[in-house]
């Protein structure tokens, strides 16, 4: 049995640089958004704006957790953690989902109260400008986070990006509530939009939490990913088959192990070369993977 010593293309530079930069940017944007939304809420008394402000307050706390989790997850393996520390990202994602769900529940209670007893909100040019600026900042952050996710597959950054997508939708809903209340004088539109946003936020929290939980429970990769791995392995001309394949994720890192069926008369050197070739090919598709390959005589498994 052999273990991969390759780290993939991303290892040529610091693999934690982009996630660290993304979490730092997230904290900075969250603090700016709190200041702007707090000022806008003080002016308008909008419940949907309070929804957005509460979400940004949770963003700061979640971003602080993510900031620390990413730095801990990027620590190299040690004697006590031979598989590394990347599961810290999944723990942070799971915790973040609980905070997101809590904010959704809080806003839902407030929204129901406002629906029963509607209160006017006040749209002002200053509050609208503040919300538009926050929308631009958040959109820029999400675009950057999505780029980082594509390059690193960081579960923490992915959860944070989803959080800020929710913030974008919340901001759009706030602007709609301010506009409709001013134009049509519908005081119920503000709490109604807040309820819709809360429902979406709760759904987002479920998706974030489920992904983190699945990783912590060592759930297998998706059927599509496993099929791709099998196709790559069995596509090698000298491979007779593959069995006992096991896969899982821990944060952004994938773990792949399998038994490789080869000609029993093949030299050990050639078996090693084939394993190296397959490993290199798999790392093209799963650049952060830790790969373990056990070579078996294919004649033992003739079907």
Q: Are residues 184 and 257 in the same domain?
A: no
Q: Are residues 41 and 183 in the same domain?
A: yes
Q: Are residues 51 and 98 in the same domain?
A: yes
Domain final residue pick, 216, 245, 267: 216
Q: Are residues 141 and 177 in the same domain?
A: yes
Domain final residue pick, 201, 216, 231: 216
CATH classification at residue 181: 1.20.1510.10
Q: Are residues 19 and 128 in the same domain?
A: yes
Q: What is the mean pLDDT of residues 256-282?
A: 94
Mind listing the pLDDT tens digit for each residue in 205-256?
787 788 888 888 889 999 999 999 999 999 999 999 999 999 998 877 889 9
Mind listing the pLDDT tens digit for each residue in 165-198?
877 877 787 777 777 766 666 767 778 877 887 8
Q: Are residues 198 and 280 in the same domain?
A: no
Q: What is the pLDDT of residue 9?
A: 40
Q: What is the pLDDT of residue 6?
A: 41
Q: Are residues 101 and 204 in the same domain?
A: yes
Domain final residue pick, 175, 197, 216: 216
Q: Are residues 212 and 285 in the same domain?
A: no
Query: What's the per-residue H, E or C state across the chain?
Result: CEECCCCCHHHHCCCCHHHHHHHHHHHHHHHHHHHHHHHHHHHHCCHHHHHHHHHHHHHHHHHHHHHHHHHHHCCCCCCCCCCCCCHHHHHHHHHHHHHHHHHHHHHHHHHHHHHHCCCCCCCCHHHHHHHHHHHHHHHHHHHHHHHHHHHHCCHHHHHHHHHHHHHHHHHHHHHHHHHHHHHHCCCCHHHHHHHHHHHHHHHHHHHHHHHHHHHHCCCCCCHHHHHHHHHHHHCCCCCCEEEEEEEEEECCEEEEEEEEEECCCCCHHHHHHHHHHHHHHHHHHCCCCEEEEEEEEHHHHCC
Q: What is the pLDDT of residue 282?
A: 95
Enclosing domain of residue 272: 223-301
Q: Are residues 189 and 292 in the same domain?
A: no
The total of structural domains in the chain comes to 2
Q: What is the pLDDT of residue 232?
A: 95
Q: Are residues 90 and 204 in the same domain?
A: yes
Q: Are residues 260 and 147 in the same domain?
A: no
């Amino acid at each position: 049995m052999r273990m991969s010593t390759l780290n993939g293309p991303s290892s040529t530079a610091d693999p934690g640089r982009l996630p660290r930069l993304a979490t730092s940017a997230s904290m900075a944007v969250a603090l700016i958004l709190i200041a702007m939304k707090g000022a806008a809420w003080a002016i308008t008394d909008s419940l949907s704006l309070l929804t957005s402000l509460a979400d940004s307050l949770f963003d700061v706390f979640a971003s602080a957790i993510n900031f620390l989790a990413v730095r801990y997850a990027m620590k190299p393996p040690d004697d006590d953690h031979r598989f590394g520390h990347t599961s810290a990202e999944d723990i942070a994602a799971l915790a973040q989902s609980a905070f997101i769900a809590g904010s959704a529940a809080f806003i839902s209670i407030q929204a129901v109260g406002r629906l029963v007893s509607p209160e006017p909100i006040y749209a002002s040019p200053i509050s609208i400008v503040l919300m538009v600026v926050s929308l631009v900042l958040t959109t820029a952050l999400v675009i950057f986070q999505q780029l980082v996710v594509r390059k690193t597959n960081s579960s923490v950054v992915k959860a944070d990006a989803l959080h800020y997508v929710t913030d974008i939708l919340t901001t759009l809903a706030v602007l709609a509530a301010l506009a409709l209340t001013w134009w049509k004088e519908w005081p119920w539109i503000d709490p109604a939009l807040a309820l819709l946003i809360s429902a979406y936020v709760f759904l987002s929290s479920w998706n974030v939490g489920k992904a983190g939980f699945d990783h912590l429970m060592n759930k297998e990769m998706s059927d599509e990913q496993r099929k791709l791995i099998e196709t790559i392995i069995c596509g090698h001309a000298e491979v007779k088959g593959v069995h006992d394949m096991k896969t899982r994720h821990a944060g952004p890192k994938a773990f792949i192990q399998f038994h490789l069926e080869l000609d029993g008369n093949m030299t050990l050197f050639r078996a090693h070369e084939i394993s190296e070739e397959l490993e290199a090919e798999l790392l093209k598709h799963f650049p952060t993977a830790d790969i373990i390959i056990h070579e078996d005589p294919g004649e033992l498994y003739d079907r």
